[in-house]
């Protein structure tokens, strides 16, 4: 385009086609982490000036999927940025379609990697409404976790925020998040 910004799909196509080099080496993986401030990036042999780092916070509404495009035609989180002219941005982590809450976006893959890495990133805190009022032993068991589909699912901590007659709101803290981690854990307990 006029300012050198192309769509995510176009950028991925160029990368996969081997048209992009990082420090003189061809890179074909669009998720390849790069320190844009230090690396020499070229597209078709022309220096690609990195855009200024961009860090965004979105209060993701329910009903949107966290992906650039959906094979089933569902609305994606990128709908929230329509017309903003942001260039390429990617979500830092995911929230499933039925969830709402804070979702980070950036054009800085190295920063995103530090945020999502369980060793360097922050814990993730969720407030979840559950069907029932858990006993202290159930809460302790959630922290210990269990094996599900060859993965150990557990919580860093859990506490009751408030209880009613039939349900409760709990605060769950994850050190790392796996696919549908909270939903699978809650279904087991």
pLDDT in tens, the chain (189 residues): 334 456 677 888 889 999 999 999 999 998 888 887 788 888 888 888 667 899 999 999 999 999 988 899 999 999 999 999 898 899 998 898 999 999 999 999 999 999 988 888 899 999 999 998 999 999 999 999 888 888 899 999 999 999 988 999 999 999 887 888 888 888 888
Beta carbons of 82 and 40 less than 8 angstroms apart: no
pTM: 0.67
Residues designated as active site: 96
Beta bridge partners of 57: 104
């Amino acid at each position: 385009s006029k300012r050198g910004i192309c769509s995510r799909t176009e950028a991925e196509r160029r990368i996969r086609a081997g048209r992009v080099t990082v420090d003189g080496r061809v890179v074909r993986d669009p998720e390849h982490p790069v320190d844009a401030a230090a690396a020499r990036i070229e597209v078709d042999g022309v220096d690609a000036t990195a855009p200024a780092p961009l860090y965004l916070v979105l209060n993701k509404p329910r009903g949107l999927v966290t992906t650039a495009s959906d094979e089933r035609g569902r609305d994606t989180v990128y709908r929230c940025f329509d017309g903003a002219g942001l260039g390429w941005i990617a979500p830092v982590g995911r929230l499933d379609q039925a969830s709402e809450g804070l979702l980070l976006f950036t054009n800085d893959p190295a920063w995103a990697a530090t945020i999502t890495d369980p060793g360097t990133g922050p814990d993730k805190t969720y407030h979840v409404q559950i069907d029932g009022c858990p006993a202290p032993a159930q809460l302790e068991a959630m922290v210990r976790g269990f094996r599900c589909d060859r993965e150990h699912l557990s919580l860093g901590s859990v506490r009751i925020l408030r209880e009613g007659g039939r349900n409760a709101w709990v605060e769950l803290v994850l050190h790392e998040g796996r696919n549908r981690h909270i939903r699978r854990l809650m279904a087991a307990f």
